[in-house]
Amino acid sequence: MNALHLVPAGVFLVLFVVMLIRAGWLKRQIQKRDGELADARKHAEDTQLQCEETASKLRTEGATLVAKQIAEVDREGERVRAHLESEVHRLRAELEPLRRFASLRSDESQARSLLEQATEEARALRAQSQLLLERAKTSSEEQRSEALAKARDARERAEATLAQATREAGRIVTEAHQRAESIAGDAYTALREKDHLEDAVKAIRNVIDGYGDRYIVPTRSVLDGLAADFGHTEAGQALRNAREHSKRMVENNAAATCDYAERERRTTAIRFVIDAFNGRVDAVLSREKTDNLGTLEQEIRDAFNLGNLNGAAFRNAQILPAYLDSRLNELRWAVSVRELRERDREEQRRLQEQIREEEKARRDYERAIKEAEKEERTLREALEIARQEVAGASTEARAKFEREIAMLNQRLAEAEAKGQRAKSMAEQTRAGNVYIISNVGSFGENVFKIGMTRRLNPIDRIWELSDASVPFDFDIHAMIKCDNAPTLERRLHEKFEDLRVNRVNPRKEFFNVPLERVRDLVKEEGLEAVFTMAAAAHEYRESLAIARMTPEERSKYHLEEPVGVAD
């Protein structure tokens, strides 16, 4: 009976143990799942954060890409517009001699209409691409990609329109010339030959006699049409676009023409004149860093005229004027890149020189302040000693000490004023001196340098200018102290801008101006200054006197010179 009661108890005990074991296992499984869930949650949060960072980065890159595409499309559209307008002007000039033939007016009108239509289409495409890019700024990534693709397509269509318009314009002009020859006969042919031969003779004369200074133009004038913030990076992109346009003209058979009927011979002749012309143009472009823009342009035009003259032997193989304009456009952008870089370098040199001058002025002020403080301490110590001695001195000695104390007080006041003046100059970052100096022996009469310095002793700056780079020392005509020296200097420079000696580099502050005009302008500014109207030029005038001496007098002069003592 007892055994029967023990069996269920044993079973229950076993079941209880099993339940405890299973409960422990389930607890561990739950803890494991909780850990996995926490890891999964952390991973999800990290992934979400990473996705947000990636999305932000993509949005930033997308905005940057859109901005670049907008700028590129703007530049490309502007180039297309400028080129088409240039084509219109060129064709008008080329068709001008045909106006006498009334039957050809329709051809001229057709060519003008075609180019104007192409210009309008290019402008419309540019506006369309701009609108698409503006929409792309606020659209999703998919819409932005689609808009950019459409913008690229619009730009390609604009290029295709330009290429087609160029070919059609060339065809119309060619047909117009052919019809003019058929109508006017030898008279028109002779007129064209006369113009071509005159250009060829001019080119040959330039090759033989050289270009000299006849074609020099102010190189910086190439920047006149550019925006103030237009940098060499943008100009470099425009240069790449110009080169790409010339390349496309060759690929689209829009660079040259020939009268050969056989396709192979025509292709060979066209390739020959293009290679000859491009060889000369590339040689000219390689000198854009050293030679003047006007001379280089004329050399390219001469290469065009001589190439077309020699191409007449190959059934009138000719470089087309549109291709000449494209290569000239390359030259202008290459010179623009050079000038913009040079402008940046000049600005950097100016800033570095200004920083050096400011640093020298700062050291001058610090040295003057320290010297004034040292002198004040010395004088105060001397005063203290004098006062102590006066207390125990006799009546006669006291009078002497009082005179000494008065003198020390005066010197102390002067030292304090000197230190205060140096501190004030250091705090006033625009206070300084505008100087007017000349060097008759180096630059001639009525040539003055108008500059500015913030040095505590402005004469130090004049001594620096009178170094070994000039044969004679500078003479000082005026030293104008003012609270805003840079503004006064700029005002004088602007007033005499047309009288600059060096009109290319504004950092060269020399002006060919009567000194009276400088003095009058300074008075108009309400400033007090003492002008020395005549230049001493001692060394220069003495050198002239020595040059007029006879050999005997010159020998005697040198014998009478004092002998310097070596250091």
Largest alpha-carbon pair distance within the chain?
162
Distance (Å, whole) CA 43 – CA 266: 70
Contacts of 101 (CB under 8 A, 6+ apart): 179, 180, 183, 184, 188
What per-residue confidence (pLDDT) applies to 100?
52
**Pick from 332, 134, 131: which is nearest to 217 by CA?**
332
pLDDT at 404 > cutoff 80: no
Distance (Å, whole) CA 220 – CA 544: 39
Q: Compute the Cα dihedral for 48, 53, 58, 63 and give only its sign.
A: positive
What per-residue confidence (pLDDT) applies to 325?
92
pLDDT at 185 > cutoff 50: yes
| Alpha carbon 307 to its chain's center | 35
pLDDT one-digit tens code per residue, 9-38 = 666 677 767 777 876 777 777 777 667 766
Structure tokens at 416: 């304090």
pLDDT at 276 > cutoff 50: yes
pTM of the model: 0.51
Q: How far apart are the first and last CA of the chain?
A: 136
Overall average pLDDT of the 116-130 stretch: 62
What per-residue confidence (pLDDT) applies to 19?
72
Q: 440 falls in which pLDDT band (50, 70, 90)?
A: very high
Mean pLDDT of the chain, nearest integer: 75
Q: 359 falls in which pLDDT band (50, 70, 90)?
A: confident
What per-residue confidence (pLDDT) applies to 553?
77
What per-residue confidence (pLDDT) applies to 370?
81
The answer to whether the CB of 81 falls within 8 A of the CB of 123 is yes
What per-residue confidence (pLDDT) applies to 362?
73
The answer to whether the CB of 77 falls within 8 A of the CB of 129 is yes
Looking up tokens 């009469």 gives: 445
Q: Cα dist. 533→42, 319, 526, 536 in Å?
A: 86, 62, 19, 10
Overall average pLDDT of the 179-204 stretch: 66
The helix or strand, by DSSP H or E, that contains position 87, with its residue range, turns out to be helix 2-95
The residue ranges of every structural domain in the chain are 57-184, 364-427, 432-560
Contacts of 469 (CB under 8 A, 6+ apart): none
Overall average pLDDT of the 524-529 stretch: 84
**Pick from 129, 128, 156, 144: which is nearest to 61 by CA?**
144
Q: 104 falls in which pLDDT band (50, 70, 90)?
A: very low
The residue with greater pLDDT, 363 or 327, is 327
**Pick from 91, 123, 132: which is nearest to 108 by CA?**
91
Torsions phi, psi for 257 (to 5 deg): -145, 165
Q: 564 falls in which pLDDT band (50, 70, 90)?
A: very low
| Alpha carbon 20 to its chain's center | 85
Distance (Å, whole) CA 451 – CA 466: 14
Overall average pLDDT of the 61-83 stretch: 63
The residue with greater pLDDT, 237 or 405, is 237
Q: 565 falls in which pLDDT band (50, 70, 90)?
A: very low
Overall average pLDDT of the 103-127 stretch: 58
Label residue 448 exposed, middle or buried (CB < 10 Å: 0-12, 13-18, 19+). Answer: buried
What per-residue confidence (pLDDT) applies to 4?
45
pLDDT at 510 > cutoff 90: yes
Crossing angle (nearest 10°) for helices 2-95 and 321-391: 110
Give the dihedral of Cα atoms 503, 508, 511, 517; nearest 10 deg: 120
Q: 500 falls in which pLDDT band (50, 70, 90)?
A: very high
What per-residue confidence (pLDDT) applies to 61?
66
Most confidently predicted of 73-82, 314-323, 386-395, 553-562: 314-323
Structure tokens at 343: 């402008």
Crossing angle (nearest 10°) for helices 485-495 and 515-524: 130
Concatenated DSSP letters of 213-245: TTT---GGGGGTTS-TT--HHHHHHHHHHHHHH
Instruction: Kindly give the pairing relationship between strand 318-319 and strand 256-257.
Output: antiparallel
What per-residue confidence (pLDDT) applies to 367?
79
The residue with greater pLDDT, 521 or 174, is 521
What per-residue confidence (pLDDT) applies to 273?
93
Overall average pLDDT of the 408-433 stretch: 74
Distance (Å, whole) CA 459 – CA 476: 9
**Pick from 247, 256, 257, 67: which is nearest to 144 by CA?**
67
The residue with greater pLDDT, 336 or 556, is 336
